[in-house]
Amino acid sequence: AQRVTQPEKLLSVFKGAPVELKCNYSYSGSPELFWYVQYSRQRLQLLLRHISRESIKGFTADLNKGETSFHLKKPFAQEEDSAMYYCALRVSGGYNKLIFGAGTRLAVHP
Amino acid sequence: DTAVSQTPKYLVTQMGNDKSIKCEQNLGHDTMYWYKQDSKKFLKIMFSYNNKELIINETVPNRFSPKSPDKAHLNLHINSLELGDSAVYFCASSAPDRALDEQYFGPGTRLTVT
C-alpha cells in the first residue's frame, strides 16, 4: 500500500533549537518525495524535493531508503518557520499523483 | 496576478443542495487537481485532469463530478451535499514536464454543510 506517515501532529520548539519533522513512507516502487509547507494565511507550497538535494530556508531532507524515511531537518529554528508541514510521495504512472501525510504543525516559540 | 484561483472562498449550504466550486489557473499548466482537506488537516487527492482529460479518479462518491471546460479551468460540482462533505477543497495545477512538476495550490474553498 502507498502511505505516508507523519507521526507528530504538533512539534513545539524554542527559537534556535534544532528541528526534525519525521516522515516515513510505504511504497513498493522507486519513491519520489517532497515537503510542502503552508504558512498561516498562505497557500500550500513546495518547500523541497529529494531529487534536488538542496537546502531551502535552512531546511534539508535526506531520503533514506533503508529506513523508508524522509525527515525534514533544520539546525536552528526561527519563529517564521512556524507552519504546517506536509510530506508527500509521488507515485509512479506519469500522472504526478501525490500521497500526502497527515501533516505536522511546527510551532517555534520566542 | 499569476496564480491558481478558486471561487468561492467560503460556501455554507444545507444538506441535499447541489453546489459548484470553480478553479482557474493562468500559469499555462496542462494538469489540474482537486484535493479534499478534512477537519484533521489530512489532504487527499480526488481528481486530476490533463488537458481536459480525466487522468486520476480516486474513490470518491459519484455525487462529486469534476468538469474541465478548457485546460485552464477545473470545476467541481457536488450533488446532494452531505454533512461529511464539509471540508476545505483545494485546487492545484502543474506543468507537464517532470522537471517542473511542482504543484501550485489555490487558496482553498471552505465548504460547510449544515
Which range has the worst mean pLDDT, A37-51, B68-82, B85-99?
B85-99
Residues A24 and B114: their CA atoms lie apart, in Å, by: 37
Whether the per-residue pLDDT at A92 is higher than 90: the answer is: no
Confidence of residue A22 (pLDDT cuts 50, 70, 90): very high
Distance, CA of A14 to chain centre = 19
Report for A54-58, A70-74, B100-104: range of highest mean pLDDT: A70-74
Confidence of residue B100 (pLDDT cuts 50, 70, 90): low
Would the CB atoms of A44 and B45 count as touching at under 8 Å? no
Amino acid identity of residue B94, one-letter, is S
* Domains: count for chain A: 1
Q: Which domain holds residue A74?
A: 3-109
Residues of A in contact with B106 (CB under 8 A): 43
Residues B73 and B80: their CA atoms lie apart, in Å, by: 23
Amino acid identity of residue B99, one-letter, is A
Q: Are B13 and B72 in contact (CB under 8 A)?
A: no
Q: Is the dihedral of CA B1, B42, B75, B78 positive or negative?
A: negative
Q: Most A CBs within 10 Å: which of B37, B39, B41, as the mutation test of the A interface?
A: B41
CA B39-B62-B60 angle, 5° bins? 40
Whether the per-residue pLDDT at B15 is higher than 80: the answer is: yes
Residues B47 and B37: their CA atoms lie apart, in Å, by: 13
Q: Which residue has the cell 514536464?
A: B97
Taken in order of first residue, the domains within chain B and their CATH numbers are: 4-113 (2.60.40.10)
> When comparing pLDDT for A2 and A35, which is higher?
A35
Q: CATH number, domain at A77?
A: 2.60.40.10
